[in-house]
Amino acid sequence: MKLAFLFALMFASCTEAPKPSIAILTPTTHPSLEQIEKGFQDTIESTHPGQYRIVTYNAQGNKTLMRGEIEKIAREDHALVFTIGALASQMTTEVFNKKALETPVVFTAVSDPSALASGKHVTGVQQILDFERELDLALQYKPNIRSILLVLNPMEPGIAKDGQEVQAILSQRGISLIPIEVFQTNELIGKVSPFIHNADAMIVLKDNTVVSGLDPLIKLCNKAKIPLIASDLDSPDRGAAFGYGVHEKEFGVEAAAMALQILQEKIAAGDIPVRPVSNFTFKVNRDAAIAQGIALQ
Partner 1 sequence: MILSMLEQALIALPLLLGGYITLSLLKLPDFSLESAYLFGAVMAYVAKDCPLPCILLSATLGGIVVGSIVATMNQLLKLPFLLGAIITNGLFHGLTQYILGTSMASFHPALPCSEPLLFSLIAVSLIAILGLLLRSQMGYSLAIYGNNPLFFQHHPISGRSVLYFGVMVGHGCAAIGGSLFAISNGLVDLTMNFGVILLCLTALVVGKSIIRTESPNLLIPLVGLIAYFCIQQTLLQLGFNLKYFNSFQALFVLGTLCLLQKKKKLSLDHLGV
98 binds partner 1 (CB under 8 A): yes
Using the minimum distance from each CB to partner 1, give the nearer residue, 155 or 168.
155
Helices (H), the chain: 2-14, 31-47, 63-75, 86-98, 131-141, 159-172, 188-192, 208-212, 214-224, 235-238, 248-263, 286-291
Q: Say what angle helices 159-172 and 131-141 make with each other, to 10 degrees.
A: 50
Find out whether 84 and 36 touch, Cβ atoms under 8 Å: yes
Position 68 contacts partner 1 (CB under 8 A): yes
CA–CA distance, 74 with 197 (Å, rounded to integer): 54
Instruction: Categorise residue 197: left if φ over 0, alpha if ψ from -120 to 50, beta otherwise.
Output: alpha
Stretch that binds partner 1, among 46-54, 63-71, 195-203, 282-290 (CB under 8 A): 63-71
Residue 155 found at the interface with partner 1 (CB under 8 A): yes
Residue 263 phi/psi, 5-degree rounding, is -80, -40
Q: Which of 9, 19, 20, 29 binds partner 1 (CB under 8 A)?
A: 29
Q: Which of 157, 216, 270, 276 binds partner 1 (CB under 8 A)?
A: 157
Residue 92 or 261 having the CB closest to partner 1: 92
Can residue 290 be called a binding residue for partner 1 (CB under 8 A)?
no
Only segment of 141-149, 155-163, 228-236, 238-246 that touches partner 1 (CB under 8 A):
155-163
Q: Is 278 in the site for partner 1 (CB under 8 A)?
A: no
Residue whose CB is less far from partner 1, 27 or 39 = 27
Distance (Å) of CA 113 to CA 151, 190, 276: 25, 35, 11
In single-letter form, the type of residue at position 182 comes to: V
Strand 80-84, strand 21-26: pairing: parallel
Q: In whole angstroms, how close is the CB of 227 to partner 1 at the nearest point?
A: 28
65 vs 128 by CB, closer to partner 1: 65
Considering only 39, 44, 69, 246, the residue that binds partner 1 (CB under 8 A) is 69
Cα–Cα distance measured from residue 183 to residue 189, given in angstroms and rounded to the nearest whole number? 12
Is 156 a residue that touches partner 1 (CB under 8 A)?
Answer: yes
Q: How far is the CB of 203 from partner 1 (least distance, A)?
A: 20
Contact 251, 109 (CB under 8 A): yes
Pairing of strands 281-284, 242-245: antiparallel
How far apart are alpha carbons 247 and 222 in whole angstroms? Answer: 25
- Site string (210-229) toward partner 1, x via CB under 8 A: --------------------
Show the binding pattern over residues 114-153: x = contacts partner 1 (CB under 8 A), - = does not.
-x-x------------------------------------
CB of 58 to partner 1, least distance (A): 5
- Residues 253, 120: contact at Cβ < 8 Å? no
Query: Is residue 179 involved in binding partner 1 (CB under 8 A)?
Result: no
List residues near partner 1 by CB under 8 A.
29, 57-65, 67-69, 71-72, 74-75, 86-87, 90-91, 94-95, 98, 115, 117, 155-157, 160, 183
